[in-house]
Amino acid sequence: MVSVMLELVRAAVLERSPSIPQNFTIDWDKLMEVSAEQGLIAWVWIGIEKLPETQSPPRLQKINWSLSAQAIKERYEYQVTVLKEMVDVCKRNNIRLMVIKGIGLSSLYPDPSCRPSGDIDVFLFGSYHKGNELFAKDKINETGKHAKLEYKGVTIENHQNFLNVKWSARRKVENYIKSNLSKAVLTQEGYYNLEPESNLLYLVMHATRHLNYVETGLTLRSIIDIPIFLNHYRDLLTPDRCYELMNKFKIAHCFELMVYLGEWALDINLTHYHRGYVPISDQNAAYEMFIKCNYIRTIPSDIPYLQYLKLSLAQFKQCQWKFRYEHVSFFNRLYFFVIKQLHSLVKYCLKVDVRKSLKSEIKKTIIKR
């Protein structure tokens, strides 16, 4: 099913006709499920529209696809409207607004509205706290890296930092990005984008973090962003310059893995970006991860603790290959795993959902008593 989805996405993003064997049976319900999971509904629909009538889905399913794709486009247009209002608010308060990820990348695609964004990520050039005051109408959820808030019905992530600076590799990249903020590019829409080299560093670091992230994983939508970005800035981001930049922060292996994944996803030739940092075993594991569309599924919370521990250990072993791409040593990752299991054991003893915050659940328990 993933191969069909990718072929339809390639047809849409690369503006060509899809090539699917005439006698190939497609489970359209499963395809929609997987496409939604990967953030590719609108692109797949454009690919479906390019199929001959003999390969198209039944009428009712075509209607469902069309409505789902239209909803994504309408959501995008509304986010653009909200972003314009935010830019105007910032201008009135002498604040510069930068957009990172999401909408900031959508203009690189043939149809920007097909590149969905769950929220709008912004950086306000030192006006983080003032931005929270201006745009927060309800409770602000601060994580250290950013504040999550709701503005006009859109989730906004107001970044204080671009990356989680707890780890030295990320902190060095963070410092580099911030040292180049004077080179930020002002768009016609009035907001800024990171200059291309800093933007590429950020995309690679963000993607490798989500490669290991338990709850959401790394979507194919985020993978496709990188080859699209490289192609758009190919005159500036030459292979030699990319690896010079990545080697500076010892993340060349992370970059090359994203190149391999992007090359596979879009079926394009990026061999000029190959340097041999990533072993074949890691490439195969990465492909298998997406072919199954199963990064690290959340373990059910309503199972006995020993079963939960067994499944957690299986996940830990299965995903060992990814640890090096998270810029965290195996021993640090093992330490976090042990701490998490101790927290989970306490939650089981308290009979609360293992996916919820231990601190908040203990508070609730004390209040009830």
Alpha-carbon gap, residue 293 to 311, rounded angstroms: 18
Alpha-carbon gap, residue 177 to 171, rounded angstroms: 10
Look at 349 and 138; give whichever has higher pLDDT. 349
Q: Where are the beta strands (DSSP E) in 59-190?
A: 98-100, 120-123, 141-142, 146-151, 154-159, 185-186
Mean pLDDT of all residues in 105-118: 89
Mean pLDDT of all residues in 179-189: 93
Q: Position 85: which residue type?
A: E
pLDDT in tens, 225-282: 999 999 999 999 999 999 999 999 999 999 999 999 999 999 999 999 999 999 999 9
**176 contacts: CB under 8 Å, gap ≥ 6:** 198, 201, 248, 249
Q: What is the mean pLDDT of the chain?
A: 86
pTM here is: 0.86
User: Distance of CA 225 to CAs 20, 39, 107, 230, 266, Å?
Assistant: 24, 12, 11, 9, 10
State yes or no: pLDDT of 183 exceeds 70.
yes
**Using 50, 70 and 90 to split pLDDT, how confident is the model at 92?**
very high
DSSP state of 297: P
State yes or no: pLDDT of 324 exceeds 90.
no
